[in-house]
Amino acid sequence: MAARGAFSNRLGFILAAAGSAVGLGNIWKFPFEVGLGGGAAFVGMYLLFCFLLCFPVMVTEVAIGRKTQKNAIGAFNSLGFKKWNFIGKLGIFCGILILSFYNVIAGWAFGYFFEMAVGNFSISQNFGVYTSNVLKVGAYAVVFMLFTAFFVSKGVSGGIERLAKILMPSLIFMIFCLVGYALTLPNAFEGIKFYLVPDLSEITMSTVGGALRQAFFSLSLGMGALITYGSYLSKSDNIVSSAAFITLADVGIAFIAGLMIFPLVAFNNGGDMSLVQSSQAGPALIFVTLPGVFETLGAGLGAFVGAFFFLLLSFAALTSTVSLLEVPVSYVVDEWKLDRKVAVGAVALLIFIIGLPSMLANGASGFFSGSFTMPGGSTDFLSLAALSADTLLLFGGFFIVTFAAYVWKKENLHEELAEGFDGYHASFVKTFIDFAISYVCPVLLAILFVLVFLNNFFGINLL
């Protein structure tokens, strides 16, 4: 056990897992998905999915990891169900795919910090020029991957834990300050209305799918990241309450990121919220709208606040990229008995190369920037990679709960959850988890996966 590394205590695990969950998904992706999804109705579905469907999946992943003390593939072998290790294989593939494009965007964020810190305050006015400058964003992506590799090579407790302890609270504090500022701006209320007052006519198959995909992505579920982190967790820790905390922290941070962004959008557009529905607004929201507001603070203060914000965003992304790289690395270390440092170097290099098309997908190459035909129109490589990965997470999530409930058997899951949780067997939460993993999650995830898949990739709308 010691040779694999372990978290020094429960707080270490919680912070690392929450660090994995909280990232670009909350601050960059969530607001623009809400925008594209039409606002508050999307937010409502997202919250419902997080607590009803995702929380039980999270508990299950962590339990499988802690029970077996193995990586995402080894865990299934170790339980005696080798046939089911396809879930882990799929997860590792998915993690590699996610990290390949995630690293590109994390590089953008880190680049923003750097540019603003050295005085290039107006970087956001030329966002398109910036993302199509391959040498520049390529260099930032290299640096970001090196940071990630550095922390993963140090192992779970040395690197990830210590980082998360300082930086997560700082980020939350800063977002709160920005929410406070945003709410004082003219037209802020229009933004809040869009964000919090649901318009039920906005609910379509693609919003339902978007909310579900976002919930899985944001909570880092469905690919064994939490099996891997759970494998470093000690037997005396309470899985259920840890998972509850992680879910609340992740959802809470996404929620306040929305409170920060939408008033700013309303402010920038004189109260007109239609901008967030155009796909143009998507990825640019955090990289154009938000810095635009920093500019109103004036060059000195604005550049300082901007640089600091993007520094913290980069750290949030880093605790997520670390968890993404940890999944394939822990597999290679456990099963191929490779030295951790060698494994990290090789896997990081491979993922960086796979990420090259995503790097070219925002202006640098016409081909990668828009020639992929999808039902909603043509799209770029990065968006396609992200959509495919998200969809795979749902698939993985379905199989993880179904496996736990019917193959491994739920009695074994409950037994694992009861370790470190006195009174689990008599608790209401046990009844909820039991019902959720036996019926609600498998049934709804199967149905929704099929609907989402047909809708996203073939434009077929069964609802």
- Which of 203, 318 has the CB closer to ligand TRP? 318
- Which of 203, 284 has the CB closer to ligand TRP? 284
Residue number closest to ligand TRP, CB atom: 25
Which residues, in sequence order, are CB contacts of 41 under 8 Å at separation 6+? 198, 199, 200, 202, 203, 207
Tell me the DSSP string of 407-437.
Answer: ITTHHHHHHHHHTT-TTGGGSHHHHHHHHII
Q: What's the min distance (Å) between Cβ of 250 and ligand TRP?
A: 7
- Which of 320, 358 has the CB closer to ligand TRP? 320
Q: What's the min distance (Å) between Cβ of 216 and ligand TRP?
A: 7
SS3 labels along the chain = CCCCCCCCCHHHHHHHHHHHHCCHHHHHHHHHHHHHCCCHHHHHHHHHHHHHHHHHHHHHHHHHHHHHCCCCCHHHHHCCCHHHHHHHHHHHHHHHHHHHHHHHHHHHHHHHHHHHHCCCHHHHHHHHHHHHCHHHHHHHHHHHHHHHHHHHHCCHHHHHHHHHHHHHHHHHHHHHHHHHHHHCCCCHHHHHHHHHCCCHHHCCHHHHHHHHHHHHHHCCCCCCHHHHHHCCCCCCCCHHHHHHHHHHHHHHHHHHHHHHHHHHHHHHCCCCCHHHHCCCHHHHHHHHHHHHHHHCCCHHHHHHHHHHHHHHHHHHHHHHHHHHHHHHHHHHHHHHCCCHHHHHHHHHHHHHHHCHHHHCCCCCCCCCCCCEEECCEEECHHHHHHHHHHHHHHHHHHHHHHHHHHHCCHHHHHHHHHCCCCCHHHCHHHHHHHHHHHHHHHHHHHHHHHHHHHHHHHCCCCC
- Which of 361, 400 has the CB closer to ligand TRP? 400
Q: What's the min distance (Å) between Cβ of 355 and ligand TRP?
A: 15
Task: Give the C-alpha distances (Å, rounded to integers) separating 62 from 128, 134, 234.
Answer: 40, 39, 11
In the block, which residue shows the tokens 């190459």?
365
Q: What's the min distance (Å) between Cβ of 110 and ligand TRP?
A: 14
- Which of 103, 218 has the CB closer to ligand TRP? 218
Q: What's the min distance (Å) between Cβ of 290 and ligand TRP?
A: 17
Residues in contact with ligand TRP by CB under 6 A are: 20-21, 23-26, 98, 217-218, 220, 223, 225, 320, 323-324, 393
**Gyration radius (Cα) of the chain, Å:** 21
Q: What's the min distance (Å) between Cβ of 411 and ligand TRP?
A: 28
Q: State how far the Cα of 396 lies from the Cα of 223, in Å rounded to an integer.
A: 6
- Which of 57, 205 has the CB closer to ligand TRP? 57
Q: What's the min distance (Å) between Cβ of 393 and ligand TRP?
A: 6
Task: Give the C-alpha distances (Å, rounded to integers) separating 458 from 39, 373, 374.
Answer: 24, 10, 7
Q: What's the min distance (Å) between Cβ of 171 and ligand TRP?
A: 12
Q: What's the min distance (Å) between Cβ of 22 and ligand TRP?
A: 6
- Which of 225, 347 has the CB closer to ligand TRP? 225
- Which of 23, 88 has the CB closer to ligand TRP? 23
Q: What's the min distance (Å) between Cβ of 404 and ligand TRP?
A: 18
Q: What's the min distance (Å) between Cβ of 101 and ligand TRP?
A: 11
- Which of 29, 267 has the CB closer to ligand TRP? 29
- Which of 215, 359 has the CB closer to ligand TRP? 215
- Which of 218, 365 has the CB closer to ligand TRP? 218
Please tell me the chain's helix, strand, coil percentages from 3-state DSSP, rounded to the nearest 5: 80, 0, 20
Q: What's the min distance (Å) between Cβ of 94 and ligand TRP?
A: 7
- Which of 92, 307 has the CB closer to ligand TRP? 92
